[in-house]
A and B are shown apart, each in its own frame.
Chain A
């Protein structure tokens, strides 16, 4: 009898909804909704299917890299080399195809393998040598970019066959091809993070790495995996990027790491590790992209736009901190 009384009853729908709304992602989603509605009232060019799909095309690369970045930041790490890996992949792809005469399919695979290996090397040094992730990936940020410039000799590879552009410029069932890829990746890896042992292990590592080690988690293996995964996703993003802009340049992806980290952190992932989610990160990506686009459409110039985006970032984080603190108190 006693036990039955203390047993928690199932939360009602409205309680669930309330809980969802005051969660990090919920608050951010509301901010995004507000921004979208505001922008839509300012110009009728913004809230059209065509424009939104086009924005989806533009944000696919950042979105794809945001997934592993969320994983990494949850463990308390960081990966600054993603933009350079993207550039390296692009160059290896173009160079093996044009200079070494690889078939394009093989060149794509070689490019993606190089990017993955680049991520693996990051992980290896972080895990085996114990270099802090910030330092290691800062070093490879320069190193991989240098490799890309060295291999390319400043020449860009152009003139790809038509089918190659399908991924970056084509569409499938009316939706940009790369957006499908992003959606599928987001669904799979959101579930992996939220519902599997791997996901829980990442949170454990982020909250207390030593504790995780003593509880028998294979911390090193997990870390090695996520940095390799980050290399892989950056490489895929690199492939998409080349397909979208139809040329390879060694400066591709410069600065994309900051866009990605901004989106992930905006999405509620703590830079100190332990908390965060994929839906949050993706809302972050979408919010930044829609603001960029919507503000230009309403006649705000690009330099003012980045000021607004910076302010929204701070505002969103402040509001979220405030609400989360209230929630914890109640």
Chain B
């Protein structure tokens, strides 16, 4: 009797096990299910600045509304910045940008606090605590777009101004989102760089953070869409997860090198940790000539590999500018200078930034760091 029960229970788990290989017939590469919007192919009608297609109809503002209290235009405000996690170079750079902006503005005091792991539950709790504490504005980079939404709505209801950067939430849970680079722009830049180095039939692997991280999943989708359209002969070998962990990223890159050997032409790193780790793995395996490393990374981490010529292109936006722009946008909203329906906003030294997708502010096209310019940057 007990045995029967045990067997029944195990059988109950069976459908779950069986379902895995069945649904795995889709590419399991960490892409998401959202619509893609690939850009024009490389060579065919070069786009000037990436924001040309926004000349079409401007979508309606779809951001949220802050509960109206007394206007704080021009008054000193206290802002807290809650990135995905603290203690890594990338968010150190966005923090630096915010500090620069705060210095220029003179009437904003901004501090950065966040979870020590990129954990959505911890992030929610940190934000909740700051709402209780009573700040005037919140900047955030979401660990999950949906899960973070309720706590941000709570902030808006409490009269706190909310602006996101780096990783978005549901649009109505914040007012504006500063988009560092559109996903299709990054997807195109990565694939173009790879094709430029290794040809249209290159075989490559990807090292990403996790399949559930929204930005990375989006890039994979856009890379796939762009490559399918423009370079159908590209051979997608495998996508490996490596958290945002340097040791693990190194191992995963090594796995790719060892597993595919001669067949591997390139590794694309999708996190600021995975790219230098992949470059390190390629460097140590002494296959710089055969394997091109392309990816998103902070310049400082990539300088050793770029200067020796092991890595040609590093693709990113400027995170200092990103943090800088986010605080300027928040200040403009508080001052009533930037309202729903506007098509651009002034962001200090960055000049005029365009509004895209209803309630997003675009920082600009992705930036390619290479041997010629990488030494001009220090972050």
Contact = CB atoms under 8 A, between A and B. Distances in A.
Interface of A: 43, 45, 48, 50-51, 54, 58, 92, 99, 113-114, 117-118, 120-121, 124, 147, 149-156, 158, 169, 241, 245-247, 249-251, 254-255, 292-293, 296-297, 299, 301-303, 306
B124 A303 contact: no
B150 interface: yes
Contacts of A124: 6
Contact of A249 (B17, B26, B147): B147
Contacts of A158: 146
B30 interface: yes
Contacts of B228: none
A147 B23 CA distance: 13
Contacts of A299: 133
Can you list the 6 inter-chain pairs with the closest CB atoms, starting with the nearest?
A154-B211, A245-B147, A247-B146, A296-B129, A150-B20, A301-B113
B32 interface: yes
B32 A154 contact: yes
A246 B133 contact: no
B9 interface: yes
20 contacts: A48-B132, A51-B132, A58-B121, A117-B12, A117-B13, A151-B23, A153-B23, A153-B24, A153-B28, A154-B212, A158-B146, A245-B146, A254-B119, A255-B117, A293-B125, A293-B129, A296-B133, A297-B132, A303-B87, A306-B116
B212 A251 contact: yes
A156 B212 contact: yes
A102 B10 CA distance: 20
B16 A114 contact: yes
Contacts of A150: 20, 24
Contacts of B126: 296, 302
Contact of A45 (B6, B121, B133): B133
A54 B128 contact: yes
Interface of B: 6, 9-10, 12-13, 16-17, 19-20, 23-24, 26, 28, 30-33, 86-87, 111, 113-117, 119-122, 124-126, 128-130, 132-134, 144, 146-147, 149-150, 210-212, 217
A121 to B, nearest CB: 7
Contacts of A120: 6, 9
Contacts of B210: 154, 251
A149 B122 CA distance: 21
B118 to A, nearest CB: 9
Contacts of A249: 120, 144, 147, 212
Contacts, number: 111
Contacts of B134: 45
Given A247-B144, A247-B146, 13 more contacts: A43-B133, A48-B132, A54-B132, A150-B20, A153-B24, A241-B121, A245-B121, A246-B147, A293-B125, A293-B129, A296-B133, A303-B86, A303-B116
B113 to A, nearest CB: 5
Contacts of A247: 144, 146-147
Nearest to A253: B121
B132 A117 contact: no
B147 A113 contact: no
Contacts of B30: 154
Contacts of A246: 146-147, 149-150
A50 B154 CA distance: 13
A156 B146 contact: yes
Contacts of A152: 212
A147 B17 contact: yes
Contact of A151 (B9, B20, B26, B125): B20
A99 B22 CA distance: 13
A302 B115 contact: yes
Nearest to B149: A246
Given A117-B9, A306-B116, A296 B130 contact: yes
Contacts of A169: 150
A149 B211 contact: yes
Contacts of A255: 117, 119
- Kindly name the residue among B26, B31, B132, B217 whose own CB sees the greatest number of chain A CB atoms within 10 A: B132
Q: Which of B111, B129, B130: most chain A Cβ within 10 A?
A: B129
Nearest to A251: B212
A296 B131 CA distance: 11
A114 B11 CA distance: 11
Contacts of B125: 58, 292-293
A50 B10 CA distance: 44
A51 B129 CA distance: 8
A154 to B, nearest CB: 3
A302 B12 contact: no
B12 A245 contact: no
Contacts of A296: 113, 126, 129-130, 133
Contacts of A306: 116
Nearest to B13: A117
Contacts of B17: 147
A73 B144 CA distance: 33
A296 B211 CA distance: 31
Contacts of B114: 302
Contact of B129 (A92, A245, A297): A297
Contacts of B12: 113-114, 117
B16 A151 contact: yes
B373 to A, nearest CB: 33
Contacts of B115: 302
Contact of A121 (B10, B23, B86, B117): B10
Contacts of A149: 211
Given A247-B144, A247-B147, A297 B113 contact: no
A297 B133 contact: yes
Contacts of B113: 296, 301-302
Contacts of B24: 150, 153
